[in-house]
Amino acid sequence: MLLASKWDTAFDVARFLYVGFFSDLPAWVRYTVLGLGGSTVVYGFASWLRNRSSAGRGDGETVPEPETPVR
């Protein structure tokens, strides 16, 4: 089987997981998995924001200061 693009493969996999997830699992399992996945995404986003805001403006400097003045 030859697919037209990589997006077709991603779409087919997503559709397969969506149908398998929402049609076969009981509601309590579905909501538990969705809650865990959602909390993981929120935790990752909050950690990214915390790390981004904790870095000072001068912390991103990677060029060392010269030890001797250059004329």
Q: Where are the domains of the chain?
A: 25-54
pLDDT tens across 54-66, in order? 866 555 556 666 6
What pLDDT is recorded for position 38? 92
- The structure's pTM equals 0.52
- Structure token pair of residue 4: 């037209």
Identify the band that residue 46 occupies on the pLDDT scale cut at 50, 70 and 90: very high
Q: What is the mean pLDDT of the chain?
A: 78
Measure the CA–CA gap between 48 and 52, rounded to whole angstroms.
6
Q: What average pLDDT does the segment 18-35 reach?
A: 83
Question: What's the one-letter identity of residue 37?
Answer: G
Q: What average pLDDT does the segment 18-45 reach?
A: 87
